[in-house]
């Protein structure tokens, strides 16, 4: 990493601060490659990804933002850059912290960004395994080694709630289920567990069965699965069956329904079901939360 830092400071010395101005991203990547590609030695941060991050930071004027910020605002800027630049590009928070430190140093505010807290790792797991987290039993659906994240879903249905309040244009983005999961439910976890829950960009695509239009992406700590995710992570209808108090029960998905006046769910027998606005807004169905956690 010292070689990387030396190269970055060399950019300032050789080309001046103008190279970090918005719109200079392509030039910056070329300069970075010329300066440090032969000495680049960070195994957890591929060089091209590192260049892409710097390019994005330039185009978003991250350096100027740090330079203008006081100590009270820099952490907020850091969190925003982490969310919009690094998390979407597959970087874990440890690597994010290192790159944020470089950007802050180049902006002349080195030391304002505290290194992220990394909790003790969770014992090795594989997809399909069960784990206890936050006092709840979960099933591991997938693991991303590059990001150090695991996608988990509650093994059982945790509670029964309506999906939404608005019965006209139903979407995950505006649903009461999303609001509940990312406020009261999220806050119910102990602090150490909350810090493991990764806030991630959630894609809300069109309905894969009916073709109903989806909605804008959201950023969530906790979410419900989409049709696409269920098809990816569950082998068949039998594997999708979930119980509430020992009985197979319907559970919500976040995908839109047969129309945008409804939403999707999983029936008690594991088949897909489309629920009308009346059912989505007034009938309590099962909540089976999902989330990404740091392993």
Residues ≥6 apart with Cβ < 8 Å to 16: none
Please give the pLDDT value at position 164: 83
Phi, psi of 54 (to 5 degrees): -65, -40
CA distances from 211 to 51, 169, 206, 256, 258 (A): 38, 16, 6, 9, 8
Amino acid 260: pLDDT: 76
What is the rounded CA–CA span in Å between residue 58 and residue 80?
Answer: 15
Cβ-Cβ contacts under 8 Å for 241 (sequence gap 6 or more): 248, 266, 268, 269, 270
Residues 6+ away with beta carbon under 8 Å from 68: none
The phi and psi torsions of 153 (rounded to 5 degrees) equal -135, 150
Say if residues 20 and 53 touch (Cβ distance below 8 Å): no
Q: Which of 209, 231, 216 is nearest to 172 (CA)?
A: 216
**Cβ–Cβ under 8 Å, residues 121 and 140:** no
CB 140 within 8 A of CB 127: yes
Q: How many residues does the chain have?
A: 295
What pLDDT is recorded for position 114? 41
The per-residue pLDDT string of the chain (295 residues; one tens digit each, 9 = 90 and over) reads 344 445 555 555 555 556 555 555 556 556 655 555 445 555 445 555 566 566 555 555 555 555 555 555 555 555 655 555 555 555 555 555 555 655 555 555 444 334 444 456 677 788 999 999 988 999 999 987 656 789 999 999 999 988 887 777 788 988 889 999 998 899 888 888 888 898 888 888 888 888 888 778 888 999 999 999 999 999 999 999 999 989 999 999 998 888 777 888 999 999 998 876 656 667 788 999 999 998 8
């Amino acid at each position: 990493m010292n070689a990387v830092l030396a190269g970055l400071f060399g950019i300032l010395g050789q080309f001046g601060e103008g190279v970090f101005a918005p719109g200079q991203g392509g030039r910056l990547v070329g300069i970075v490659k010329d300066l440090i590609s032969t000495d680049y030695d960070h195994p957890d941060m591929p060089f091209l990804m590192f260049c892409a991050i710097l390019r994005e930071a330039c185009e978003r004027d991250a350096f100027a933002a740090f330079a203008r910020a006081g100590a009270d605002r820099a952490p907020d800027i850091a969190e925003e850059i982490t969310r919009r630049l690094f998390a979407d590009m597959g970087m874990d928070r440890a690597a994010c912290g290192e790159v944020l430190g470089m950007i802050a140093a180049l902006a002349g505010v080195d030391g304002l960004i505290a290194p992220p807290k990394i909790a003790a790792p969770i014992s090795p797991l594989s997809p399909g395994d069960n784990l206890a987290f936050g006092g709840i039993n979960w099933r591991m659906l997938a693991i991303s080694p590059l990001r150090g994240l695991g996608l988990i879903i509650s093994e059982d249905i945790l509670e029964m709630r309506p999906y939404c309040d608005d019965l006209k244009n139903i979407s995950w983005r505006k649903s009461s289920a999303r609001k509940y999961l990312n406020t009261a439910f999220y806050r119910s976890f102990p602090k150490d567990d909350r810090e493991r829950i990764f806030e991630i960009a959630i894609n809300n695509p069109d309905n894969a069965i009916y073709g109903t239009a989806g909605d804008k992406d959201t950023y969530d700590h906790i979410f419900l699965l989409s049709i696409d995710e269920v098809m990816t992570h569950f082998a068949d209808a039998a594997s999708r069956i979930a119980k509430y108090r020992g009985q197979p029960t319907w559970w919500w998905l976040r995908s839109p329904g047969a129309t945008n006046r409804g939403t999707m769910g999983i029936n008690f027998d594991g088949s897909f079901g489309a629920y009308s606005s009346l059912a989505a807004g007034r009938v309590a169905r099962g909540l089976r939360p999902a989330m990404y956690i740091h392993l």
